[in-house]
Amino acid sequence: MDLVSFLTTDVLVVLAVDLGLFILLIWFLVLWFILREMRQFARQVTQDSHIDNKTYEVCQESVSNALNFTAENSDTLNDLILIQQALENQVSQIRSAGELSDQEKASVEELNQKLNKSHQLIRKLKVDLNKSTKGLEKAKSKLLQQTGTVESLQQEKEQLEKQFEQLEQEYIQLTEADDSSDLAKEHQEEKRKMLEQLEAYKKKLSNQGDSEALAAALQASKQQLYHVAKEKDFIEQKYLDLLAESEQKNE
């Protein structure tokens, strides 16, 4: 057996493994940049919550791509582990064969050290990859929850705006029957104040963009809507009572 030629082939295989590990390091650098962008995005959400749904969709797509990326890297690492084990077995066979010169023993020892080093690096990359995958899955889950919350609050906000608009129309119809009468004029000022209040509520509600402020605004708007509805019923009943009283006086 030509031992020198065999060792040269093994060294070439080790170089191929090292090249694969170098490519993996480049991939992990790309993954690190993705994770850094995700951290910056998380800080941006905390500091400035005025982020539209498109931004959330882009982040979700980035996380999904990163998860696919880590899955491919995991398969590559598994292949490298198999190659590593095969090379370690070959080195063990060579060392146990005996009758090696000092130079051959030095070459085998150097090859063994490289294998040990690459083995440690593969294990570290495997651990880092698992951690990255768990972090990305957690980030994806939070993004989905955040997106669902924003959409839900947005729908609730639109419903409240429609209810305010309906109240507005009811107030307008309340005094449209006889705007020229003294009774209508008496209630015109009350209607104007109520409409201004409704407009202020609607404007305040539409200006809310972030989820926390929007949730608080929606809760406050619900309370305001309840009180406005009560005031509307009171004014309407008062209007009808005064109208009935006016008709009785005319009789």
Q: Which domains does the chain have, with CATH numbers?
A: 3-152 (1.20.1050), 153-250 (no CATH)
Whether the pLDDT of residue 94 is over 60: the answer is yes
Q: What is the pLDDT of residue 176?
A: 53
Across 1-11, average pLDDT: 52
Considering only CA atoms, which of 63, 238, 33 is closest in space to residue 145?
Answer: 63
| pLDDT, tens digit (0-9, with 9 covering 90-100), for 130-161 | 776 677 677 767 766 666 666 666 666 666 56
87 burial (CB, 10 Å; 0-12 / 13-18 / 19+) is buried
Whether the pLDDT of residue 85 is over 70: the answer is yes
127 in Cβ contact with 61 (< 8 Å): no
